Chain A
Amino acid sequence: MISDQLATAPWLMWFSIAGVTLFLIMAFNALAAVYVERKVSAFVQDRVGPMGQGAGLHAGKWGLLQTVADAVKLLTKEDIIPRAADRKLFIMAPFVIFIGAFISIAALPFSSIIQVIDVNIGIFYILATSSLGVIGLILAGWSSENKWSLYGAMRSAAQIVSYEIPAALSIIVVIMITSTLNLQGIVEAQGGIVWGFLPNWIVFNNPFAFLAFFTYFIAGVAETNRTPFDIPEAESELVGGFHTEYSGMRWAFFFLSEYANMFVVCGIASVTFLGGWQSPIPGFMNSPFWGLFWFMSKVLFLMFIMIWFRWTFPRLRVDQLMSVAWKYLLPISLINIFGVGLWILLVGA
């Protein structure tokens, strides 16, 4: 009886559809991002990256099937759990990280009508959930029973907790200007024109907001554990960091979550600072469908910038990492809040 009721309950159907769609978005995002990552790294280093001269032995035209082949390889790999590992936690860790990324994507407004759940405290919700992943990282590092994993987990905890603060303080600038926590509300507040010709995105609203965008973006790169802030998995120092002992499908989940986290961070950056689904030319192609296009192109552009960062900058030392967070980003974001407050007082939002 209960199962009948569950099967006919419309909310369950919609939740399943939304869940499957989100998972597909995440999976496709990871597949595409890995491909772009490899190609960009190759081009930066004057190589050609994955290439093929057709199907069969090779990875398809321009190596387009390379990540598909990688995924098949990871799926069919042997599932190894070290004997010394804490079995339950070891199995749980990738899913905790994955859930953190998954529930963050759910609140992102892809367009004015496409959004899984419109929370009225959306930005607060995403800030809370996107840092949930750090629990998974610590679980992975602790349960692996491996010193490299533990080092990586400790570093990532220190790093993510530190960089949460400048990121959140930069977001406060946005909340001050739009005076709402709702993501749709934030995007709607960014329609129109400012300074005569620029779209009324918060990044162009005033000089302090402009600075806040860069503060947020740098902190966001650090939150996703990507180079130059990749000390939790520093290959040259810690083998693989927190995922040293993982292989096959479980490792793939870490990877999936890393790219999903990139998507979330870039999604928040584009929603809060770059006008979300608003068209760059106000009033031009602003239908809900084109909104999806604008949002996705902003997110993908920011992801490309992140990939570009990765293949340009060397890794920071731990002390440099901490000094960037606490001595530079934190004061700058506090000044931003003060400056935006003054701006609102004197000029108006």
Chain B
Amino acid sequence: MGRYLVNIWESVSTMLIGLGITGKHLLRAKNGNVTLQYPEEKWPRPERNIGFDHQDYNVIRSRLVVDINDCTGCKKCERACPVGCISVEALKVPKGTDLGVTSNDTIKRLLVTRHDIDMSECMYCNLCTFPCPEECIYMTGGPNSHKTPIDYEFSEYDRNNLIYKFAVATQEEIDSYTIPVPVTPAPEGAKA
């Protein structure tokens, strides 16, 4: 009989202890939760070295950026890319057209109509940045961190958003060079 009452007492008291513990967690739900709601909330970007002590490379992850104002459309990056994720199209403009100069004072002779980089294909080998004569394609971070801020990550809801389109040439600009200006026809019999 004693054992029986002790059993009842123990079960009731331990049940209350258990309810107390869960109740405590229930009440501090607002501040006590450990969930990070990822796309809306992010951890601060960890500052760490990726293996060797070199301040140029102490970034977690970088991505390709093109300063399109400096691009001459030489397609050297496109050819260098081992996976073919860069596609550049350039348009030859009539002689004498002023497209401006790059920051290295090179005269731009081609209008870059397309400069797409598919970041979902990029393997971060950095091989495209070395051939660039104008140093306008580069990985963010390291020595370039002052040019473009480093992101924590660059995930997107839609995969198509990972194709970065850098070209800024407008359709009117392209049309003004591609649609031929009507010239006065040559006089009859001039050829003969």
Contact = CB atoms under 8 A, between A and B. Distances in A.
Contacts of B4: 327
B33 A46 contact: yes
A312 B22 contact: yes
A312 B37 contact: no
A308 B23 contact: yes
Contacts of B40: 53
A194 interface: no
Q: Is the interface of A mostly helix, strand, loop or mixed?
A: loop
A57 interface: yes
Given A40-B26, A57-B157, A47 B35 contact: yes
Interface in A47-89: 47-48, 51, 53, 57
A315 to B, nearest CB: 13
Interface string B76-101: 00000000000000000000000000
B131 interface: no
A216 B8 CA distance: 16
B32 A46 contact: yes
Interface residues of B, number: 19
Q: Is the interface of B mostly helix, strand, loop or mixed?
A: helix
A230 B22 CA distance: 19
B15 interface: yes
Contacts, number: 44
A308 B26 contact: yes
Interface residues of A, number: 18
A311 interface: yes
A40 B22 CA distance: 10
B23 to A, nearest CB: 7
B25 interface: yes
Contacts of A47: 33-35
Interface string B19-41: 10111011001001111010010
A46 B25 contact: yes
Interface string A311-322: 111000000000
Nearest to A51: B37
B22 A44 contact: yes
A313 B18 contact: yes
Contacts of B34: 46-47
Contact of A44 (B7, B15, B26, B35): B26
A57 to B, nearest CB: 7
Contacts of B15: 312-313
B24 to A, nearest CB: 9
Contact of B25 (A43, A51, A327, A328): A43
A48 B35 contact: yes
Interface of B: 4, 7-8, 15, 18-19, 21-23, 25-26, 29, 32-35, 37, 40, 157
7 contacts: A43-B26, A44-B25, A48-B37, A51-B37, A312-B18, A312-B22, A328-B8
Interface of A: 40, 42-48, 51, 53, 57, 308-309, 311-313, 327-328
